[in-house]
Structure 1
Amino acid sequence: MGTAERYEAPEGAAVAQMTKRPDTEVPNRGAPAAEPGTAVVGAGPGEPARAPGADVRSEADARPRPYYRPLWVEEPARRRRLPDPVRTAAVRAVLIVALTLIQAMVALLCTLAGSWLAFPMVISSVVSTILATWGVLDVWVTRQVWNQRNGVVSSPSSTARARRRERRRARRRERSAQRAQARIRRRGGTGRLSHS
């Protein structure tokens, strides 16, 4: 049976109101009765009763599933991945720089505290700074070397081809003009209009 709640009417009215709570309603109430000999499988309000052999969906499948946003969205990489030797040098440089910063901070704190460790830490920080500089330069040099060996395959662009064509045409014109001058000289000046 459904649960009924009693609401008192306002003072002026003598009629009490009875309302049904929708969340406590019995699921099979109001469903048509099944034939004798067949079992009714959980039909909700407004749904027809089904026989056991019929297609049954569980309540979880019947409800609309909420849309969950994915934790991350994969985007195509804007830049290409670094080559392996360059990436190795970069990781090494980052580790050396991080250790150098930690050493410098420890040296500063030891100096402020007046500890005996201050002097060795300052000396080691200076050495680490030199190593960190070398590590950063190593990344740059490794990148340049890799680009020279395996870098861009030069394929001339259309503008480069057009300029090259123009240069070839200009050279051909110069050569043909030089040949014409050489021919005229070989003939001994027969092309002149008057002989003196």
Structure 2
Amino acid sequence: MDTDERRDAAPMAYDAHVPRQLWVEEPVARRRMADPVRTAAVRAVIIASLTMIQAMAAFLFTLTGAWLAFPLVLSSIVSTVAATWAVLDVWVTRQVWNQRHGVVSAPSSTARQLRRERRRARRTARAAGRETSHIRRHGTGSLSRA
């Protein structure tokens, strides 16, 4: 079937024109970062990118022998320390957020499984304790009468 025949052919059901949407929501695998953590992450990315630009400028000025090379190298070292601090700030902010607001545990969490096992053990211990006290109460009365 060549192009002219395809143009003249009647459209099939699967060929029907489906309008494309401008925006399609896709489910995400992970939850969105908390606002303070996201703010710290954006700050860290900006500082790290400016540090890399500054280091590249210092390198190029050093190659050309410009007088600005030495101050740029010194400030690049300071900027590297600041960028490292910013990345650590993201990590600390995330840890603080998790401690204050709690982490949503998955159903297969190890901690949840251990709690279930402890709860089950307590129930069986209580049930066994009730059984023994029930036997003792009823058992001593029947033995004393006999």
State the TM bucket, normalised to the shorter chain.
0.5 to 0.7
- 1:157 matched to which residue of 2? 112
- 1:111 matched to which residue of 2? 62
Structure 1, unpaired ranges of 5+: 1-64, 175-196
Shift in CA distance, 158/125, structure 1 to aligned 2, threshold 3 Å: closer
Deviation at 1:152, TM superposition (A): 2.4
For 1:69 and 1:75, how far apart are their aligned partners in 2? 15
Deviation at 1:67, TM superposition (A): 4.0
Structure 2, unpaired ranges of 5+: 1-15, 130-146
Does residue 125 of structure 1 match 2:76? yes
For 1:134 and 1:120, how far apart are their aligned partners in 2? 21
Question: Aligned residues: percent identity?
Answer: 66
Considering fraction of residues, name the structure with more helix: 2
Select 1:166's aligned residue among 121, 125, 136. 121
Q: Which residue type is aligned with residue 83 of structure 2?
A: A
Q: How many residues align?
A: 112
For 2:104 and 2:17, how far apart are their aligned partners in 1? 51
Give TM-score scaled by structure 1 length: 0.49
Secondary structure in 2 matching 1:157: helix
Secondary structure in 2 matching 1:162: helix
Deviation at 1:157, TM superposition (A): 3.5
For 1:145 and 1:108, how far apart are their aligned partners in 2? 38
- 2:99 matched to which residue of 1? 148
Secondary structure in 2 matching 1:163: helix
For 1:93 and 1:171, how far apart are their aligned partners in 2? 54
RMSD (Å), alpha carbons: 3.1
Q: Which residue type is aligned with residue 115 of structure 2?
A: A
Matches within 5 A, 1:20-99: 66-99=17-50
Considering fraction of residues, name the structure with more strand: 1
After superposition, the C-alpha distances for 1:90-139 in whole angstroms (9 at most, x for unaligned) are 01100100000000000000001110010000000000000000000000
Secondary structure in 2 matching 1:152: coil
Q: Which residue type is aligned with residue 97 of structure 1?
A: A
Shift in CA distance, 82/69, structure 1 to aligned 2, threshold 3 Å: same
Give TM-score scaled by structure 2 length: 0.64
- 2:139 matched to which residue of 1? none
Deviation at 1:169, TM superposition (A): 4.3
Bigger Rg over Cα: 1
- Comparing both chains, which one has the higher relative contact order based on Cα–Cα distances under 8 Å and sequence gaps of 6 or more? 2
Deviation at 1:84, TM superposition (A): 0.8
Deviation at 1:167, TM superposition (A): 5.3
